[in-house]
Amino acid sequence: MTRRFQPPVLPEDPILHPSAFSLNRRRLLALLPGLIALGAGRAALPAPASPVAARPVPALPARHRLFPLGRGTVAEISDGDTVTLADGRIVRLVGIQAPKIALGRRNFAPWPLGQPAREYMEELAMGRDFLLFAGGRRYDRHGRMLAHMAREDDELWLQGEMLRAGLARVYTFADNRALAAEMLALEAAARARRAGIWDHPFYALRRPGEAGRLVGSFQIFRARTGPFRRRGRSAILHLTERNPPLRMSETTADIEGLSAHLTAAALRAMPAARKAALSESGQPLRLRGWVRRDKDGPFIAVTHPEQIEWIGP
């Protein structure tokens, strides 16, 4: 029998600790015999698929910012971020990226923890009814529906729970940015606990100097702002690991090898204070995206503000 992945839950997390709820497990178990004796037509609560599912989990926030897409029953699990509904629709959980598995692709090297992520998604979703919501573009280029999914009986937010469990990273797009702040907060909390993927070197936060060997992959870098220059309506931000940053006499050739290419649309969507921080050398940040290379070296195309997180020193 395959051993199910059980994401760790630490007592110091106030959102997840059972004491945050007035009806805890012990009280619930004490009430169940009375409910059964009263002839309840069905169990007061569904039996959880795992001990983790019985504990407080993220609910879908701020539904007024989303558009309803109806409901559906999950009939098949492809991986940790893709499911098929009973009516045949394939849903890609927008906003997250779970570890990839081969799924029949030849010469594809599965990412670490891909199978545990799939198994946990199966525990959360298989055979369950969900409400679907759009936060932006509704279909991807493969024809899959892009949706946030909330379990109908208890409102568990699939994206939020996969992030909380450390089995996904935030993966937003310029045309799908809804709930990015909430997802980034859940990801950061899981990383602080070293939950799931965050305890594996494959998913470690990278340094700018590593970018050259990471071309073609999705990564999160921790760095500081270096030289910043406008290029028409777009801009280029060079990243550095140094603190203090480069001296004025140094050139971009002295930088460790990664830049952020900010589109005009990303700059327009960025709050004024954060836009100003781009030109302040030495500001700590996290940058996420696919690493590419041009004639000047490795870079990440920044198409929307959520790809850059401003963090403490």
What domains are defined for the chain?
18-199 (2.40.50.90), 205-310 (2.40.50.140)
Residue 40: pLDDT over 50: no
Q: What is the pLDDT of residue 50?
A: 45
Confidence band (pLDDT; 50, 70, 90) for 1?
very low
Q: What is the pLDDT of residue 57?
A: 65
Residue 34: pLDDT over 90: no
Q: What is the pLDDT of residue 53?
A: 41
Percent of the chain clearing pLDDT 90 (strictly above): 70
Q: What is the pLDDT of residues 171-217, one digit of tens each?
A: 999 999 999 999 999 999 999 999 999 999 999 999 999 999 999 99
Across the chain, mean pLDDT equals: 83
Residue 115: pLDDT over 50: yes
Q: What is the pLDDT of residues 243-269, one digit of tens each?
A: 655 554 444 444 458 999 999 999 999
Mean pLDDT across 134-153: 95
Q: What is the pLDDT of residue 267?
A: 97
Q: What is the pLDDT of residues 63-95, one digit of tens each?
A: 668 999 999 999 999 999 999 999 999 999 999
Radius of gyration of the chain (CA): 22
Q: What is the pLDDT of residue 51?
A: 37
Mean pLDDT across 267-286: 94
Q: Higher confidence at residue 107 or residue 250?
A: 107
